[in-house]
Amino acid sequence: MVSGSGIKRLKEFVDSSKHIAIIPHHNPDGDAIGASLGLYGVLKQLGKDVHVISPNGFPEFLEWMEGANEVVSFEDNPGKVREILKSTDLMFFLDFNGLSRIKGLEAEVRGFKGKSIMIDHHPGPEEIADVMISEPLASATCELMYNVIKKAGWKKYLNKELAECIYTGIMTDTGSLSYNSSRPEIYHIVADLVEIGIDKDKVHQLVFHSNSFNRMRLLGHALGQKMYLLEGTPAAYIVLTAEELKRYEFKPGDTEGFVNYPLWIEGISVSALFMEHKDKIKVSFRSQGSFPVNQFSEKFFNGGGHVNAAGGEFYGKLDDAVDTFCKQLPLFMQEQNISDEKQP
């Protein structure tokens, strides 16, 4: 899945660089942080001066990862990041394919004169790097990272701790191998990681069984009081106001995965989550089957992503965001010629 010529140039870049920065996307998830820390550990063993620079903080449930306490957040520590970037000669962009995905860090990266490598699995990449490893069919950037590490001849550096980082991304981006994971290669990779010695069950527990009491109560509230069906369509959605988020002491990452729950309803194949933040409405979309939530989000919510998983933003009132969704979704479905029936 990762081409030989891409790997050859990647290796040349790494061999000829001393100071390397690894950059995941804003609000990094298990895949972005897993791929970053997996690569970080390998490059350190190759004797490189490496830093993982995240546009902002990352969720607590990833803090157990090897190297996690060395990640530098640009939002929390811009001075340190600028200092690091001064001597950086190679940058890795992981799990994103457009510079707007790194928010405030974009301005710092735009002026960068060194070499860059992108490794990502989102569709529609922008030309942001000298080497672009872009594979929309891959389940996760961590899947690509495993292939990169193996093909570059670095597998010997992939110890148990780093293999657990890589496994985390595959696990979180596929809902524990429940979707977007039908290619046999993924299971060969997982088998390799188990052979290296990962504790698969422990990783699952660390990531998924570490909810705060408030997060569980917020989920209960969202499903019990704030989930709606969009009559006449196979869509359901959840709406959370700023007051509700505050009531349950919302922290970034708390609503991760909420948008998947409406899909568990029989007959529902499109799901949306609306969250009222200070300056904007954050929206997440999921679908099953052919409904392209990335195109829908691009058209109405300034967003994008994958066919079945996308994000977006709305600049206006929460009610107007929800109205836009309720009005435009049926029309968009007609346009796309998508029937009401749940698609397999």
Q: Which is nearer to Mn ion, 29 or 276 (CB)?
A: 29
Q: Which residues, 6 or more positions from 261, have their beta carbon under 8 angstroms from its beta carbon?
A: 219, 222, 223, 227, 238, 271
Q: Which is nearer to Mn ion, 32 or 158 (CB)?
A: 32
Q: Which is nearer to Mn ion, 234 or 292 (CB)?
A: 292
The span of 27-35, 75-83, 281-289, 312-320 binding Mn ion (CB under 5 A) equals 27-35
Kindly state the smallest distance separating residue 31's Cβ from Mn ion, in Å: 3
Minimal CB distance residue for Mn ion: 31
CA proximity to 75, closest of 92, 96, 53:
53
| Binding residues among 140-159 for Mn ion as defined by CB under 5 A | 141
Burial environment of residue 224 by CB neighbours within 10 A (0 to 12, 13 to 18, 19 or more): exposed
Cα angle 137, 12, 126 (rounded to 5 degrees) comes to 40
Instruction: Give the total of residues touching Mn ion (CB under 5 A).
Output: 4
| Binding residues among 31-70 for Mn ion as defined by CB under 5 A | 31
Return the number of other C-beta atoms located less than 10 Å from residue 279's C-beta: 6
Q: Which residues, 6 or more positions from 191, have their beta carbon under 8 angstroms from its beta carbon?
A: none
Q: Which is nearer to Mn ion, 193 or 239 (CB)?
A: 193
| Binding residues among 176-235 for Mn ion as defined by CB under 5 A | none
The verdict on 108 binding Mn ion (CB under 5 A) reads no
Kindly state the smallest distance separating residue 166's Cβ from Mn ion, in Å: 12
Residue with tokens 């390998």: 42
Q: Which is nearer to Mn ion, 32 or 236 (CB)?
A: 32
The verdict on 164 binding Mn ion (CB under 5 A) reads no
Kindly state the smallest distance separating residue 316's Cβ from Mn ion, in Å: 29
Kindly state the smallest distance separating residue 35's Cβ from Mn ion, in Å: 8
Q: Which is nearer to Mn ion, 31 or 276 (CB)?
A: 31
24, 95 contact by CB (below 8 A)? yes
The span of 69-77, 136-144, 200-208, 276-284 binding Mn ion (CB under 5 A) equals 136-144
Residue 108's alpha-carbon distances to 39, 40, 233, in angstroms, are 22, 21, 44
Q: Which is nearer to Mn ion, 95 or 108 (CB)?
A: 95
Burial environment of residue 212 by CB neighbours within 10 A (0 to 12, 13 to 18, 19 or more): middle
49: its two tokens: 């001066």
Residue 190's alpha-carbon distances to 142, 146, 170, 185, 299, in angstroms, are 11, 10, 9, 9, 37
The verdict on 135 binding Mn ion (CB under 5 A) reads no
The verdict on 173 binding Mn ion (CB under 5 A) reads yes
Return the number of other C-beta atoms located less than 10 Å from residue 153's C-beta: 10
- Among 95, 108, 135, 143, which residue sits at the site for Mn ion (rule: CB under 5 A)? 95
Q: Binding residues for Mn ion, per CB under 5 A? A: 31, 95, 141, 173
